[in-house]
Amino acid sequence: MIRYADDFVCAFQFKTEADDFYRALPKRLEKFSLEVAPEKTQIVRFSRFYPSMKHTFIFLSFEIYWFLDHNGKKRVMRRTARKRLQRACRDIKDWIKEERHLDGRKFVIGLNRRLQGHYNYYGLCGNLESLKRFYSWAMKCTFKWRNRRGGKRKTYTWESFNQAIKQVGIAMPVITEKQFQREVKV
């Protein structure tokens, strides 16, 4: 169904087919001197007939799940996996804490580079809430650590901080995935 480098997802209609494939896979990979990663290999029930957050799986740092849209149609959705979002938030906090001493321009360039990189990878349709959560966390950390650069007086209030963000142009959350447009023949 999906393959990216050495990671892949296979879909089967019947559980017996999935079980047969699961048993045969290690033997097949062994012919090419490869092996199955047991912590990443599993059989998951993923059916449009049972849309639920109980039946999800993680692939390439995305949690894949079924969702009922506003029209009641069942759709496969993707969002940033919870552990990956936590790690990204921890990483950006650590960077902000370490680099808070940089002058304003260099700090903003470095922060924007990290934010934009996150948006480029995770900016899929339906994942805007995770992007907003990451952005909000980055702004809270920036406010906190830029105010702790020494001295007894705070550098920013929230009002002045928000004005500064608008002025310097911090990268805002954006969906970067291109939608495939179907051509309509007239």
Domain boundaries, the chain: 2-18+26-80, 82-168
Give the tokens for residue 104: 């304003």
pLDDT of residue 134 exceeding 90, the answer is: yes
pLDDT of residue 85: 97
Of the pLDDT bands very low, low, confident and very high (cuts 50, 70, 90), residue 74 is confident
What value does the mean pLDDT take over residues 45-54? Answer: 76
Q: How confident is residue 88, by pLDDT bands cut at 50, 70 and 90? A: very high
pLDDT at 152 > cutoff 70: no
Does residue 78 contact residue 134 with C-beta atoms inside 8 Å?
no
d(CA 139, CA 85): 15
